[in-house]
Structure 1
Amino acid sequence: MTTDRMPHGKSVEVHGIFQKIADYYDLMNFVMTLGRHGRWCREVAARAAPPMGGQLLDLATGTGVIALEAARAYPTVAVTGADFSAQMLAHAKAKPGAEAVRWQQADAARLPFDNESFDAITEGYLLRNVEDLAGVLREQHRVLKPGGRLVILETCPPSGPMKPVVEWGIRTIVPLLGKVVSGDRSSYAYLESSTRAFESPQQVADLLTRTGFRDIGWRKKFFGTNVILWAVKAR
């Protein structure tokens, strides 16, 4: 959110959760993915591939993992890390290399950037937490330059023959880990339920197409519970 706008509706609940879990967010991501989260963030940054001297926006930057990976991978690129949680941004700003990133508090539903400002956009675990998925993607399309790349790291609802087993694991283990690691079962119960209720990669891809993106693809991760999607804004 810009500094003069506060979250509303579902955003109030989500904002409160991410303010609350900021202190142990990185540890929980590491534990829940068995150490794979950092590798996925590096892949997201690599797929963004902004041009030399370009501009990259990392939305829902959280503690800045993707933004910092992008800053390291593309030293000539101006990287902006945006999140609506001040607590998350405080952790991002305290990390080594943080001075290479411009950190900004911003609401993904009302981005405070001009049209066609960025050569690439990355994001991690944003879409399942927004009220207006189509509106958020339209905002990203608006601020992305024609030909620019969008790369999304997101959770993925289980599917296929292993769906009952994976659903049981998500439903049971994620809140339990939240309690053991952080003493906060309730916040991770929300994250578990939002994972199972979110759109499939094909549904997100269809929405990206309707928004004006092309060359859309995705790759599932970690028993199909996470996914990296990519797309290009039509010229």
Structure 2
Amino acid sequence: MPSHEPPPSKDQEVQRTFNKITDYYDRMNRLMTLGRHAAWCRDVAASANVPSGGSMLDIATGTGVIALAALENYPDSSIHAVDFSERMLTEAARKPGASAITWQYADANDLPFGDGSFDAVTHGYLLRNVDDVERVLEEQYRVLKPGGRVVILETCPPRGPLRHPVTLGVRVVIPLLGQLVARDRESYAYLQESTLGFMTPKEVVAILRRVGFTSVAWKKKFFGTHMIISARKQ
């Protein structure tokens, strides 16, 4: 008889993908960004402006690159890092210095923290992988203290004169690297599509403002394929 089970949701598919690619995640990020990924994560952490003795939440922490960079910047602060891939959390918790960070399984759609819990929220490559960007940003607004900052690292579709050659490069290079390095062309084909199919900076900024954030600023990176956006809760 045919199965009547509903197809997996986007969240379930994304969770499955990231559990599959954990062992190659850091290496692939270095290759796909020509070694710039770690520098962007340090930029995100530095932009969080966590006060002395404050607290920061890194969502979709993956292997913990942003969270560990934040620990270096704010050694006397409390750093929480959450993800819904348990394999990613396990990998992150093995890294040098990781014992000083609180690692926790959590869903970005329903964060297990009270209102006004953190001075800053950061995340890398979260929004392109969720069903409802506005809901996820509303949750971040909720858990931030008044005056707290959110700093976002994301991919964005290239624009301008380099749009077509960069798009072609992304379509070819990311799945090819996935095949050669991770032996997983399928997962990296998904990541290629989510990179090119995500919102522009202006679209993300519009949602941030609709949610209630102010002082929104953004800058593009890497031929316009990445962006760092910051905003403040009133």
TM bracket, shorter-chain basis: over 0.9
Residue 114 of structure 1 is matched in structure 2 by 114
Query: Aligned partner of 1:25: which letter?
Result: Y
Deviation at 1:225, TM superposition (A): 0.6
Q: How many positions carry a matched residue from both structures?
A: 227
CA distance in 2, matches of 1:204, 1:72: 29
Residue 31 of structure 2 is matched in structure 1 by 31
CA distance in 2, matches of 1:221, 1:117: 30
CA deviation vs aligned residue, 1:116-166 (integer Å, no higher than 9, x gap): 100000100000000011000000000001100000000011111111111
Deviation at 1:66, TM superposition (A): 0.3
CA distance in 1, matches of 2:89, 2:76: 23
Residue 99 of structure 2 is matched in structure 1 by 99
CA distance in 2, matches of 1:14, 1:153: 18
CA distance in 2, matches of 1:83, 1:221: 25
Deviation at 1:100, TM superposition (A): 1.0
Q: Is 1:199–2:199 an aligned residue pair? A: yes
What root-mean-square deviation, in Å, do the aligned CA atoms of Structure 1 and Structure 2 show?
A: 0.7
Query: Aligned partner of 1:9: which letter?
Result: S
CA distance in 1, matches of 2:149, 2:73: 16
Residue 153 of structure 1 is matched in structure 2 by 153
**TM-score for the superposition, normalised by structure 1:** 0.96
Residue 79 of structure 1 is matched in structure 2 by 79
Query: Aligned partner of 1:107: which letter?
Result: D
CA distance in 1, matches of 2:151, 2:26: 20
SS of corresponding position for 2:35? coil
CA deviation vs aligned residue, 1:44-83 (integer Å, no higher than 9, x gap): 0000011111110000000000000001110111000100
CA distance in 2, matches of 1:100, 1:44: 19
Residue 19 of structure 1 is matched in structure 2 by 19
CA distance in 2, matches of 1:100, 1:229: 27
CA distance in 2, matches of 1:192, 1:75: 35
Query: Aligned partner of 2:154: which letter?
Result: E
CA distance in 2, matches of 1:38, 1:9: 30
Query: Aligned partner of 1:228: which letter?
Result: I
Query: Aligned partner of 1:91: which letter?
Result: E
Report 1:37-186 matches (<5 A). Answer: 37-186=37-186
Query: Aligned partner of 1:20: which letter?
Result: K
Q: Which runs of 4+ in 1 moved over 6 A?
A: none
* Unmatched 5+ stretches in structure 1: 1-7
CA distance in 2, matches of 1:213, 1:201: 15
Query: Aligned partner of 1:114: which letter?
Result: G
**TM-score for the superposition, normalised by structure 2:** 0.96
* Unmatched 5+ stretches in structure 2: 1-7
SS of corresponding position for 1:120? strand
CA distance in 1, matches of 2:208, 2:221: 20
Residue 215 of structure 2 is matched in structure 1 by 215
SS of corresponding position for 1:159? coil
Query: Aligned partner of 1:112: which letter?
Result: P
CA distance in 2, matches of 1:179, 1:108: 29
Residue 4 of structure 2 is matched in structure 1 by none
